[in-house]
Amino acid sequence: MPPRGKAASSAQAAAGQASSGRRPALPREFIAAHKQRRITDALAELSAEQGYEATKISDIVRRAGVARKTLYDNFEGKEEVFLAAFDAAFDEAMERIETACTEAEGGWQEKIEVGLEAFLGYVADEPILAHMCMIEALSATPATTERYEDAVEKFVRMTGDTLPEDARLPDTLDETLVGGVAWIVYQAIRREDAERAVDLLPQLTEFMIGPFLDTGLAVPPAQAADENS
């Protein structure tokens, strides 16, 4: 029995698309998300090339290949584009780190190392976004600076939840360690060495566990590697 009513209309429409060789229309949400990503990627690229202050809306829409109206349909302005790009980059980096730590089978020391490796891997894979988040965010606007500080605070809390407690060590150790890692990576990005960030892993691992060696709560990285192998 042939289909009737709405079912018949849907079947005929699908058959018409198939016979004409046309692809089904993409969902509006997908198209909107794709345009938003092009806009945020464009700002990240331009910020790395010429700085946030020098980047204009006209530069962003030209690089993204969208109309000015499209940008303002999705964002209030340049600052909101930057914040959206920052948030997306931070979420992706954090997801990599959390996944690596969750999958680690060893103790806190292994979690620190694999977390660092995931973070450095993200910096190496996404040097433009790393430049935007760790250099431009510090001075672009007060709002971007605040976003950077919030991100650092989240890393501090994650680090504090991972490191062992020891009353012999200062209460500000978590902030000191995260700040030191951030500074070293910052310098690497400034030198345009972001793509080789993973090379910093041995140095930064030793830096992170160093305070715990004298307390007996950690072992040298080489020894830890042998124990986990």
- Tens digits of residue pLDDT in 172-211: 999 999 999 999 999 999 999 999 999 999 999 999 999 9
> What's the predicted TM-score (pTM) here?
0.82
Please give the residue that has the higher pLDDT: either 152 or 1: 152
Q: Is residue 131 part of a domain?
A: yes
Does residue 28 form part of some domain?
no
CATH code for the domain of 144: 1.10.357.10
Residue 131 · residue 195 · CB < 8 Å: no
**Distance between CA 152 and CA 175 in Å, rounded?**
9
Taking a C-beta distance cutoff of 8 angstroms, is the pair 205, 112 a contact?
A: yes
Specify the pLDDT at position 216.
84
Instruction: Provide the domain limits for residue 189.
Output: 78-228
Confirm whether 18 is domain-assigned: no
Secondary structure class of 197 (helix, strand, coil): helix
219 located within any domain:
yes
Would 162 be classed as within a structural domain?
Answer: yes
Give the whole-angstrom CA distance, residue 60 versus residue 78.
9
Q: What pLDDT score was predicted for residue 164?
A: 92
The contacts of residue 107 (CB under 8 Å, 6+ apart) are none
Measured between alpha carbons, how far is 20 from 86 in angstroms, rounded to an integer? 43
Mean pLDDT for all residues in the chain: 87
Q: Has residue 30 been placed in a domain?
A: no
Count of structural domains, the chain: 1
> How far is it, in rounded angstroms, from Cα 155 to Cα 159?
6
161 within a domain of the structure (yes/no): yes
Asked if residue 128 is part of any domain, the answer here is yes
